[in-house]
């Protein structure tokens, strides 16, 4: 529990510190500047990143719950049997990503992003598929879901989308052709649609959870919808780089 709290604290300091104007003196650039520099066809509108506020607030609640209300929120079981060390790994990888991306080590940042995703996916897998004991199910309620499962699911969902964006940024950094970027954008949107459909349809109707109000699988589909809407919003008023490299028909079709 204390290691989770420490990892989360370090992650917050590094991630928000990386956006500080003072670090420009050290050659690090903020995310907004780099998003414009490496603009892709599936770069979401800036407001989409406000979801990080929800993610960090939810994870702060998870940290508080595991430290001070473990019995009330069933957090002990969740931390030991569901999360393990994966949350620590995710926090570490995200901290390293902030540094790599800030210094424009795009390939390294993509590797870090995949590492974050690789740390969060096992947690979500266990949330959705692990059958807890009868005793644990008795103690579970909507508050337990809010403080334990929701933070991990929304974080994982956004990292799924962010990984796809990072992949397209990587292609732009290597100056690939417009044709390759278009193909990658369509593949990305297809993956987003697949992930949203998979989690909303398959996990709801085929995992036997539709009858239980305590089992939720709508978080990741909602995150995918949030990302898709933000991508569409950005393309409604594309920046100069996109307008220069792609025809209006391509922009409108995406």
7-28, pLDDT tens digit by residue?
Answer: 999 999 998 877 776 666 567 8
How does residue 204 score in pLDDT terms, banded at 50, 70 and 90?
A: low
Domain-embedded: residue 235: yes
Domain-embedded: residue 37: no
Domain-embedded: residue 9: yes
Q: Which residue has the higher pLDDT, 111 or 16?
A: 111
pLDDT at 23: 63
Domain-embedded: residue 34: no
Q: What percent of the chain has pLDDT over 70?
A: 84
Domain-embedded: residue 246: yes
Instruction: Indicate whether 123 pLDDT > 90.
Output: yes
Domain-embedded: residue 66: yes
Cα distance between residue 190 and residue 213, in whole Å: 30
Domain-embedded: residue 33: no
Range of the domain at 76: 2-26+43-253
Q: Which residue has the higher pLDDT, 254 or 111?
A: 111
pLDDT at 205: 60
* pLDDT, mean over the chain: 85
Over range 106-120, report the average pLDDT: 97
How does residue 178 score in pLDDT terms, banded at 50, 70 and 90?
A: very high
Give the tokens for residue 76: 């002990």
Q: How many domains does the chain have?
A: 1
Give the tokens for residue 198: 């998979």
Cα distance between residue 87 and residue 8, in whole Å: 8
Domain-embedded: residue 205: yes
pLDDT at 160: 95
Q: CB-side exposure of 186: number of CA atoms within 13 Å? A: 9
Give the tokens for residue 232: 């569409």
């Amino acid at each position: 529990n204390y290691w989770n709290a420490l990892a989360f604290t370090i992650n917050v300091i590094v991630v928000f510190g990386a956006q500080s104007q003072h670090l420009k003196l050290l050659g690090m650039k903020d995310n907004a500047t780099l998003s414009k520099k490496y603009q892709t066809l599936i770069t979401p509108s800036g407001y989409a990143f406000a979801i990080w506020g929800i993610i960090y607030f939810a994870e702060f609640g998870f940290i508080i719950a595991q430290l001070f209300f473990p019995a009330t929120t069933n957090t002990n079981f969740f931390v030991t049997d569901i999360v393990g060390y994966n949350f620590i790994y995710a926090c570490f990888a995200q901290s390293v990503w902030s540094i790599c991306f800030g210094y424009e080590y795009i390939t390294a940042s993509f590797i870090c992003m995949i590492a974050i995703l690789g740390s969060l996916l096992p947690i979500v897998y266990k949330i959705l598929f692990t059958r807890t004991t009868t005793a644990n199910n008795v103690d579970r309620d909507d508050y337990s879901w809010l403080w334990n499962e929701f933070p991990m699911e929304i974080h994982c969902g956004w990292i799924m989308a962010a990984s796809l964006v990072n992949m397209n940024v990587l292609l732009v950094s290597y100056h690939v052709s417009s044709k390759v970027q278009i193909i990658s954008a369509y593949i990305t949107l297809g993956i987003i649609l697949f992930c949203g459909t998979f989690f909303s349809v398959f996990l709801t109707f085929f995992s036997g959870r539709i009858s239980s109000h305590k089992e939720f699988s709508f978080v990741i589909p909602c995150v995918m919808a949030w990302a898709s809407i933000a991508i569409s919003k950005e393309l409604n008023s594309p920046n100069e780089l996109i307008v220069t490299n792609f025809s209006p028909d391509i922009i409108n079709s995406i």
